[in-house]
Chains A and B, each alone.
Chain A
Amino acid sequence: MTTGLTDLKTLERDAFRKFYDDGIFDIYIGAMLITMGVAAVFADQMQSEALSMLLTLGLAIAVTVPLLLWRRHLLRSRLGEFKPGPARRRKITKTRLVLLGSVLLGILAFVVAAIAYRADSDVDVAGLVVPLLWFLNSMIVLGAMAYLLDVPRFYAYGVIVGLAMPILIWPDVLWDTRVAPWLAFGGPGLIVAAVGFYKLARFLRNYPVLETGVVADGEA
């Protein structure tokens, strides 16, 4: 039994961090990257960007929804549920704002790339700027999540995910060497997913399903 004779901040942080020990978020990030790799293969083979995007979206939904539903059940049955205190709620709100900012940055990058393409800009926006924005976005989002949610391994994911796009595009632009898209995205995706499956296995072993219910009146 833990006596609670510890620093309260550490107690709160460790309790909250347990909810990311299930590895499902890791599997989710890995699956998203693998999906992007698969989408690139679709795009190469189908010669239809619309169909490829539809298939990618379908794959993403097929992967995401069951994972998130299962995660809710997994955490509830093994760790229980809690409402965070004010300090943690502020951190969660900040994390959401960072995610919203990330979406806005993504839209901005898309618009800038489209404008530059139409304007026939001297700077190779699609080849140089977009991968850089992707890298920065990934570092900012996953770095902020690592800091605000107290999950340090997300810093590493920021780098791994962030490098996928530059690895795909920069060798082609700078040295005329093409890296296969399934490798550029699938490789990092497999690494992150593998970490996720390892953590999931440990989570299932370390946190058994707890009996749920009410504490009975007069229970002794």
Chain B
Amino acid sequence: MAKPEQGQATVTPTVDRLIHEPARLAIMTNLYVVESANATYLLQQTGLTWGNLGSHLLKLEAAGYVDVVKGYNGRKPETTVSLTGKGRDALLEYRGQLLSALAPLAGD
């Protein structure tokens, strides 16, 4: 799990902050429900720009959460992305962390 960065609030200290960022959460959840997808699919599903998508994919790839494969579909260059086993586990763990963090609010 990614450690909280310096200066960040500690309201949800046990939540994986790498996944907690909305754009990366959108990428992770969209990849969770498929085997793999190309970048165009992720752009369409998340509404991110190419630059944002690339930037977030780099962070997720560096954490070992996604596999990014650059290749060709016919003659056109194409990026294919899939969630790794580590990424799947991290997303499930994040879900548990978030539910635990919100549990005290239940019944309010």
- Which residues in A have some Cβ–Cβ distance to B below 8 Å? 1-6, 8-9, 11-12, 15, 76-86, 88, 207, 210-216, 218-220
* Partner pick for B26 among A3, A12, A77, A213, CB 8 A cutoff: A3
CA distance A5 to B57 in the complex (A): 19
Contact A8 B46 (CB under 8 A): no
- Which residues in B have some Cβ–Cβ distance to A below 8 Å? 22-23, 25-30, 32-48, 50-51, 53-55, 57-58, 68, 70, 73, 76-79
Q: Which residues of A contact B32 (CB under 8 A)?
A: 8
CA distance A215 to B78 in the complex (A): 8
Contact B79 A2 (CB under 8 A): no
Q: Which residues of A contact B23 (CB under 8 A)?
A: 1
Contact B22 A213 (CB under 8 A): no
Given known pairs A212-B76, A214-B77, the reply for A81 and B40 (CB within 8 Å) is yes
Given known pairs A80-B37, A80-B43, the reply for A215 and B25 (CB within 8 Å) is no
Q: Which residues of A contact B42 (CB under 8 A)?
A: 80
Contact A215 B39 (CB under 8 A): yes
CA distance A8 to B83 in the complex (A): 15
Q: Which residues of A contact B35 (CB under 8 A)?
A: 82-86
Further 10 A-B residue pairs, CB within 8 A, beyond A4-B46, A88-B34, A215-B53:
A1-B23, A4-B25, A11-B33, A79-B40, A81-B37, A211-B50, A212-B40, A213-B76, A215-B39, A215-B57
Contact A81 B48 (CB under 8 A): no
CA distance A207 to B41 in the complex (A): 12
* Partner pick for A4 among B30, B58, B79, CB 8 A cutoff: B30
Contact B50 A219 (CB under 8 A): yes
Nearest chain B CB to A92 CB, angstrom units: 12
Contact B50 A81 (CB under 8 A): no
A-B contact pairs, 15 of them (CB 8 A): A1-B23, A1-B48, A2-B46, A4-B25, A4-B28, A4-B29, A4-B46, A15-B33, A83-B37, A84-B35, A213-B78, A214-B70, A215-B68, A215-B79, A219-B51
Contact A219 B22 (CB under 8 A): no
Q: Which residues of A contact B43 (CB under 8 A)?
A: 80, 210-211
Nearest chain B CB to A178 CB, angstrom units: 50
* Partner pick for B39 among A4, A77, A80, A86, CB 8 A cutoff: A80
Contact B30 A81 (CB under 8 A): no
